[in-house]
């Protein structure tokens, strides 16, 4: 699996160029599935925000993810998958070029990635591109820190650990996401961590990590 881990999506030409290289073909020829599941676990999200992602309005917040002009765009709601059987949904994933994984709560998303069986399937999909936004990126890290846990049922802050670093997103976008906040967060996280803004992405291919940015980022606990 090829990873493009972002804070705010495909927000600038550099990140878009990286996405095109990962896809190996134009966006308008690529098949995408968007995953809104993380939104249900966060108190600031709900039906309107999920609708925005699925509607893929090119003039909205989601212009940088589902609104990029995909050749085809479908929805993969992880909470539904255990009830319909893998014989139905696994072909949908195998036929996709990219998963667009939106933000919300990463521990809730992690729970449903495991519960649905998608987490077990991912290692068998070397050509699939994963584009994460916020929690959709953080879920692939070992830990997100209690600072970012919003789902009351989360037992701890551990996530999938597909990569060996953590991510602090939305640098300077919110008053609670400054570098000073990130440094206090990183002191307890125990692994290397990237602090990234909306103009930054972390690309991971075959274990090689590259930061792609037209904005601000910093690595902590190097």
Q: Could you report the per-residue pLDDT of 154-206, keeping only the tens digit for each?
A: 999 999 999 999 999 999 999 999 999 999 999 999 999 999 999 999 999 99
Domain 2-220: state its class. Answer: alpha beta
Q: Rounded to an integer, what distance in angstroms lies between the CA atom of residue 100 and that of residue 52? A: 14
pLDDT at 59 over 80: no
Closest to 221 in 3D by CA, of 196, 189, 197, 177 = 189
Instruction: Judge if pTM exceeds 0.75.
Output: yes
Query: Where exactly are the structural domains of the chain?
Result: 2-220
Closest to 21 in 3D by CA, of 101, 127, 103 = 127
Residues 117-167 pLDDT 10s: 999 999 999 999 999 999 999 999 999 999 999 999 999 999 999 999 999
Under DSSP, is residue 12 helix (H, G, I), strand (E, B) or coil? coil
CA dihedral for 193, 60, 103, 105, sign (positive or negative)? positive
Beta strands in 45-91 (DSSP E): 72-75
């Amino acid at each position: 699996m090829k990873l493009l881990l972002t804070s705010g999506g495909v927000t600038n030409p550099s990140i878009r160029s990286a996405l095109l290289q990962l896809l190996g073909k134009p966006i308008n020829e690529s098949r995408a599935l968007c995953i809104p599941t993380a939104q249900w676990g966060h108190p600031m999200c709900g039906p309107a925000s999920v609708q925005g992602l699925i509607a893929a309005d090119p003039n909205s917040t989601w212009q940088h993810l589902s609104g990029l002009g995909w050749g085809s765009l479908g929805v993969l709601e992880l909470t539904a998958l255990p009830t319909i059987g893998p014989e139905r949904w696994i072909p949908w994933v195998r036929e996709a070029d990219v998963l667009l994984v939106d933000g919300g709560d990463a521990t809730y998303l992690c729970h449903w990635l495991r519960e649905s069986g998608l987490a077990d399937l991912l290692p068998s999909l070397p050509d699939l591109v994963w584009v994460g936004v916020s929690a959709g990126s953080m879920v692939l890290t070992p830990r997100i820190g209690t600072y970012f846990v919003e789902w009351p049922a989360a037992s701890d802050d551990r996530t999938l650990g597909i990569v060996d670093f953590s991510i602090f997103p939305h640098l300077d976008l919110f008053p609670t996401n400054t570098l000073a906040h990130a440094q206090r967060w990183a002191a307890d996280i125990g692994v290397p961590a990237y602090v990234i803004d909306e103009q930054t992405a972390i690309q991971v291919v075959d274990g090689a990590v590259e930061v792609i940015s037209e904005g601000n980022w910093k690595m902590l606990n190097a």
